[in-house]
Amino acid sequence: MDMQRIVTNLFGAWFQIGRQFPASALDAIAKTVAAGEGTHRGELRVVIESRLPVSAVASGVTARHRAAMLFSHLRVWDTEDNSGVLLYVLLAEHRIEIVADRGISRVVAPAEWDAITAHMRDEFANGHYREAVRTGVAEAGALLTRHFPSDGKPRENQLPDRPLVL
């Protein structure tokens, strides 16, 4: 059992989520998601989680495991072109994970996602929470536009654009 992670999830600055991500910030992120989805065939879903339950931490759930669980639970994998991407932020542990469906994973190298998470971490380290997520969304959108460009046909929005805050 990782006591440091338990303490972090219990007492970290996660409780400031409403101040870091007010409704106006979530609206701005949603607009960035929608704008990007107009240029590519991907579907981007953003989840911002304040902390993990102690029971999850005690049983070994990592941010990566949690992101994979949410990818499945939110049906990010269930898009027409297998083009779903989950951008997951765990505030208490300062973790960022990106999970991409198989259609995207075939053409986007893990190092490209790593570069996005590195830029986001830099923004978070400077206290620019909203900007960090918008940067991640914009860079993921640009990456998807390069590797999975729009075919010019109108598409149904298959996943919500507004970030889910847990």
Question: How much is the pLDDT for 15?
Answer: 59
Q: What pLDDT is stored for residue 20 in this prediction?
A: 85
Instruction: Report the pLDDT value the prediction gives residue 28, as an integer from 0 to 100.
Output: 95
**What's this model's pTM, rounded to 2 decimal places?**
0.90
Question: In order along the chain (166 residues), what is the average pLDDT of each group of 10 residues?
Answer: 73 70 94 94 94 84 95 93 94 92 92 96 91 96 92 85 95
CA distance 5 to 8: 5
Sheet holding 43-49, edge to edge: 95-100, 84-90, 43-49, 164-165
Q: What domain range is 50 assigned to?
A: 3-165
**Which residues are paired to 87 by β-bridges?**
46, 98
CATH number for the domain spanning 75: value is 3.10.310.50
**Domains: count for the chain:** 1
User: Are the beta carbons of 143 and 44 closer than 8 angstroms?
Assistant: no
Tell me the residue type at 153.
Answer: K
Is residue 40 within 8 A of residue 84, CB to CB? The reply is no
Helices 23-37 and 129-147: angle between axes, nearest 10 degrees: 10
What does the block give as tokens for 72?
A: 């499945």
Q: What angle do CA 12, 140, 36 make, to 5 degrees?
A: 115
Question: What is the distance between the alpha carbons of residues 114 and 26, in angstroms, rounded to a whole number?
Answer: 23
